[in-house]
Amino acid sequence: MDRPFNMPDEFVDAFAKAGASLWRSLAWPTNDERDGAMINSSLASSGRFAELQADYLKGLYQLTEHLMTSAAGGQGNGGTEPARGDRRLNGTEWRENSFYSLLKQSYLLNSRYCTDFVEALDMEEKEKHRLRFFTRQLVEAMSPTNFIATNPDVIKLAIDTDGQSLKTGLDNLIADLGKGNLTITDETAFEVGKDVATSKGAVVFENELFQLIQYEPATEQVAARPLLIVPPCINKFYILDLQPANSFVRFAVEHSQTVFVVSWRNPDASCGHFGWDDYIEHGAMRAIEIVRSIAGADKINVVGWCVGGTILSSALAILRTRGDESVASVTLLTTMLDFCEPGDLGVFVDEESVRQRELTIGSGGIYRGAELGFVFQTLRSKELIWPNVINHYLKGKPPERFDLLFWNADVTNLPGPMYCWYIRNMYLENNLRHPRRLTMCGTPVDLGRVDLPAYVLATVEDHIVPWRSAYRTTGLFGGDTRFVLGASGHIAGVINPASKNKRSYWVSDGRCDDPTTWLAGADEKLGSWWNDWIAWLKPRSGEQLPARTQLGNNLYPPGESAPGRYVKAKAN
């Protein structure tokens, strides 16, 4: 274990670079320029800095006044309140106890000053985004709720249990340090194939890279054209089949679709040679060929999610260039094809970090899933890291039992060559959006050749695939595209079951280059986007035929039962 909790080199390097950016921004002027100013032109203006200082001093004065008034028995002015939705400091003690009220107000005042200061800096946007991201990490880490001495709930529980909660919490911390992971859920609460990933089906094909699962029909009649789902290879596919009530797979099957899913292998050392082209040719393209063979259909429909959508789109561009017309439509779920605005993941990517990975694992090796998992946790540290630190280490409570967090903790490795090629050509150089700049499987790739009907879903709060980036797909594909913007984030916005019909989504028949203009003209629809999608898909699914009870065919007979053994393999 190199670092606690599998902290990857990219995180440490990016944090250091953010600090260096701030130091350069606050550098003293040279001797020739020194005229008493303490901040150089990296600030938007000296007036803006003076304004920030004045606001901060005013806040300190109000805080002192509030404290003195409270001490004298008055009510004070209440001070600053947390942002909407932030429940960390909402307890009674934080309002009624003068000590904790002072802590709360001091933390909120300093947090606001830090974030406002970063926003006032005049610097290149990528550097500023990195600084903004790590300032947020620091602000969230320094919350008084994260420390024993300044969390009233932790202190009360320790007193009530005669210190047993603190002892149990220390034991939990030692155990997690030993395994190198922060525990975010009860990892023994679910069993893949028994409690999650329970839809009935069978593995009908496998190679070194993936297993192909076909699911049993749930209706007497099924669409002639089957549905193939290509999930991300950085996560397990069963996010699409967690529980019967929120299973996208079950929803599609119950709407007369013959569903196939790619279950990527969790790579070990023997897979360290796989590259991006392998995932295209021996993954997505092979799966398309087999699904069409089993169904005996003229064409199939395909769905890709996240990096699975990037792999699938690349495969479709190659197939169309080669004259292959075996795919009728494509659905992309929170997928980036234009990486000019890569979101928070972009803070970890620059030439130096990518080159370092290429030197270590670019020619062979494994990028450990635990490191990647840590990176994803930092993207939502306020929800995924610090609540678990408080509950598990400070309060000594057992981790909660939650299927989505169980899936989140079930990490996957990636082959080094594949990972390095993907990071350089997508996140660093944004090559895929440029026609014929990349060659995959011996074929120049032009996304404009994907002239199929396309359903493109993004989610408004997505921190991994910003919705404006996903919107740019509408200008890259060559066919008719329906763009839909769902509520919530990268996971919850996609797994929004129609049976519960929660949240909402935005649609518009209008087309424009600017995503903000598109949203201004879009209509908000209540409920799940699943209903909109299935209505869009059915006209492209062919005629209704009697469902076949036998899975696979003579060439690809059914083997082990779904979900198969690949998805059950744990990352080392």
Among the listed residues 306, 340, 441, 512, the single catalytic one is 306
Instruction: Give the angle subtended at the CA of 421 by the CAs of 462 and 315, to the nearest 5°.
Output: 75
Q: Positive or negative CA dihedral for 497, 500, 505, 509?
A: positive
- 306 noted as active-site residue: yes
196 strand-pairing partners: 192
**Residue labelled with tokens 């934080």:** 94
Give the separation between CA 530 and CA 536, rounded to whole angstroms.
10
The H-assigned helical ranges of 152-197 are 152-160, 164-179
Burial class (CB in 10 A: 0-12, 13-18, 19+), 513: exposed
CA atoms within 13 A on the CB side of 305: 23
**Residue labelled with tokens 């629809």:** 525
User: Nearest to residue 335, comparing CAs of 366, 304, 363?
Assistant: 304
**Preceding omega of 415 cis (within 30 degrees of 0):** no
Helix (H, G, I), strand (E, B) or coil at 379: helix
Q: Positive or negative CA dihedral for 122, 431, 374, 6?
A: negative
Instruction: Give the angle subtended at the CA of 182 by the CAs of 181 and 187, to the nearest 5°.
Output: 85
Q: What are the structure tokens assigned to 19, written together?
A: 């600090």
Whether residue 371 contacts residue 360, with contact meaning beta carbons closer than 8 Å, is answered with no
Helix (H, G, I), strand (E, B) or coil at 116: helix
Q: How many CB atoms lie within 10 A of CB 159?
A: 10
**Helix 9-25 and helix 369-379, axial crossing angle in degrees, nearest 10:** 40
Residues, the chain, total?
572
User: Nearest to residue 139, comparing CAs of 183, 109, 181, 98?
Assistant: 109
Q: What are the structure tokens assigned to 195, written together?
A: 């409690």
- Burial code (b: 16+ CB inside 10 Å, e: under 16) for 26-58 equals eeeeeeeeeeeeebbeebeeeebbeebeeebee
Whether residue 464 contacts residue 343, with contact meaning beta carbons closer than 8 Å, is answered with yes
Give the separation between CA 555 and CA 497, rounded to whole angstroms.
35
CA atoms within 13 A on the CB side of 157: 20
Which residues are catalytic, by number?
A: 306
